[in-house]
Amino acid sequence: MIPVPIPPTEEQNEIIKIIQNKMLQIELFKNRINEIMKTKEILGRYINMLQSGVLKYAFSGKLVN
């Protein structure tokens, strides 16, 4: 058998608080990343629409003054 040191209850509780705080931060980061990815997708679609519109006008001769 190998002895495993166990910290006092007070220290264990402090470790739990630190871990819970870090897990909450990770969850907040994941949520923010998801928001950014959704925004990126929306902006990508918008850019594609703009490009299509510009090309449509360019090929129809309406882009020139």
pLDDT tens digits, the chain, 65 residues: what are they? 999 999 999 999 999 999 999 999 999 999 999 999 999 999 999 999 999 999 888 888 877 76
Question: Number of folded domains in the chain?
Answer: 1
> 38 is in which domain, residue-wise?
26-60
For residue 56, being part of any structural domain is answered with yes
For residue 42, being part of any structural domain is answered with yes
For residue 41, being part of any structural domain is answered with yes
For residue 3, being part of any structural domain is answered with no
For residue 6, being part of any structural domain is answered with no
For residue 50, being part of any structural domain is answered with yes
Distance CA 37, CA 26 (A): 16
Q: What is the pLDDT of residue 60?
A: 86
- Give the end-to-end CA distance of the chain in Å, rounded to a whole number: 87
For residue 14, being part of any structural domain is answered with no
| pTM reported for the whole predicted model | 0.66
